[in-house]
Structures are given as structure tokens and as C-alpha cells.
Chain A
């Protein structure tokens, strides 16, 4: 039962263009969403997050959009750089009831071509 789904295993974009990574979730109790970035042989590192009370959060080249009615979020990277090539994980959490399970999607491998 995959509660957080990243349906695109991979994405390839040209340097300087926009990268859009998508994520869908099924659990309506999720109220906080995060994106992690992972390079080979390293652990995931936190990139950006968004609370369910917002529909957009921006940090430099990275913007996360949340559409609660569609249970969908996306990560936009503009402009994309070769160093952004990594696996991106979408994660969600429900803080209600004291539970802090951080549930991850399976990841999308982004390749930014020079």
C-alpha cells in the first residue's frame, strides 16, 4: 500500500530548463510534506518542505507546490543545473496523534544534461 507515489522513476532535462518532479499521496491525514535529495553512496538530504496550510514554498531555485484537493505536490527546479542530478524523494508525515512516521515515495532519478 504505497501512500506516497512518485510515478516517474526517471526524468531527464537540459541544463537551464525547468525540472518538474511530481508526487501523489493517498492519506488525507498527511499535513506536512518534504523533498529529499540523494546522491549515490550518500544518505538523503533535506531539500525543502511545505505545510498543508500553504500551497507554495520557495527556496532559491526550488519551489514546492501543494494541491490538497488533488493530493498532489510537485517540486520545480529552475534553472536546472548538472549538480542537481540525483534521486529525489517525496515524503509525507502526519503529526496528529503524536505519530511522526516519515513516509517516502520510491524516488525519481533526475538527470540534468549539460
Chain B
């Protein structure tokens, strides 16, 4: 059963705390995306990786956000320090890249920063 797995599904944290979201892409997929969904902006691309290398993170606030792929089975998105405006649903998606641009999404992490 191939699927993108994200943990945690829900996270409530206090402002200023560090938050780490994890994603396990579908085995064999070489492209990983991080998206943030808010009511105002819809689905915004934060960063994406190809073969574990970051290709574009221009959508990510650099001062507090960081994205990494320690290995092919794990992608992380970290916020430090977190702020109330970071409250959103964060989605990870993976794909095969190239002309096959269909991306498979995880169920998301709903983050609430109070």
C-alpha cells in the first residue's frame, strides 16, 4: 500500500517552540515537495527536493524554516521558533519527477501555534 506518510497528524505548540514535521515519501519516488495550506493563500509550495538535494526553497521563510532529507525515506520540515502565523496544514508530497509530474500527497500535519 504505497502512500506518503506524515507525522504528526496534529500538533499544538506554544509560540517560540521548535516544531518538526516528518514525511516518509513513497518508496522509489525521487522528488519530495512541502506545501502549506492556509485559507488566504491556498496551497503554497515551500520547498522541494530531487534525489534528496534541495532544488527550490524560495517559498520558505529562511529565518525560521528549514527543510532536509537525511535519507531517501525521510524528509523533515522544521520551524524554529514557531509563531502563530505559522498555523496551517502542512502537506508533503512525493513523485517520480521528470515528465511524470503527478504528485502524491500525504494527509498533512495540522499545526496550531498558540
Q: Is A43 a contact of B42 with CB atoms below 8 Å?
A: no
A-B contact pairs, 18 of them (CB 8 A): A36-B105, A43-B105, A44-B43, A45-B104, A46-B102, A46-B103, A46-B104, A89-B42, A100-B50, A100-B55, A100-B97, A101-B45, A102-B33, A103-B45, A104-B42, A104-B45, A107-B42, A107-B43
Q: Is A89 a contact of B43 with CB atoms below 8 Å?
A: yes
Q: Is A95 a contact of B99 with CB atoms below 8 Å?
A: yes
Of the candidates B43, B44, B48, the one whose C-beta lies within 8 Å of that of A100 is B48
The interface of chain B, by Cβ under 8 A from chain A, is 4, 31, 33, 35, 41-45, 48, 50, 55-56, 91, 93, 97, 99, 101-108
Q: Is B31 a contact of A100 with CB atoms below 8 Å?
A: yes
Q: Which residue of A lies closest to B105 (CB)?
A: A43
Which residues of the partner chain A approach B41 to less than 8 Å between Cβ atoms? Answer: 106
Q: How many A-B residue pairs have CB under 8 A?
A: 60
Closest 10 CB pairs of A and B: A43-B105, A106-B42, A104-B43, A46-B102, A44-B105, A93-B101, A43-B107, A43-B106, A43-B91, A43-B108
Which residues of the partner chain B approach A93 to less than 8 Å between Cβ atoms? Answer: 101
Q: Does A80 contact B (CB under 8 A)?
A: no
Which residue, of B31, B41, B101, has the highest number of chain A Cβ atoms within 10 A?
B101
Which residues of the partner chain B approach A104 to less than 8 Å between Cβ atoms? Answer: 35, 42-45
In the bound assembly, the distance between CA atoms of A49 and B43 in angstroms comes to 18
The smallest beta-carbon distance between A104 and chain B, in angstroms, is 4
Which residues of the partner chain A approach B104 to less than 8 Å between Cβ atoms? Answer: 45-46
Which residue, of B33, B50, B102, B104, has the highest number of chain A Cβ atoms within 10 A?
B102
Of the candidates B33, B44, B106, B107, the one whose C-beta lies within 8 Å of that of A41 is B107
Which residues of the partner chain B approach A112 to less than 8 Å between Cβ atoms? Answer: none
Contact with B along A96-113 (1 / 0, CB 8 A): 001111111111000000
The smallest beta-carbon distance between B72 and chain A, in angstroms, is 18
Contact with B along A6-46 (1 / 0, CB 8 A): 00000000000000000000000000101010000111111
Which residues of the partner chain B approach A41 to less than 8 Å between Cβ atoms? Answer: 107-108
The smallest beta-carbon distance between B102 and chain A, in angstroms, is 5
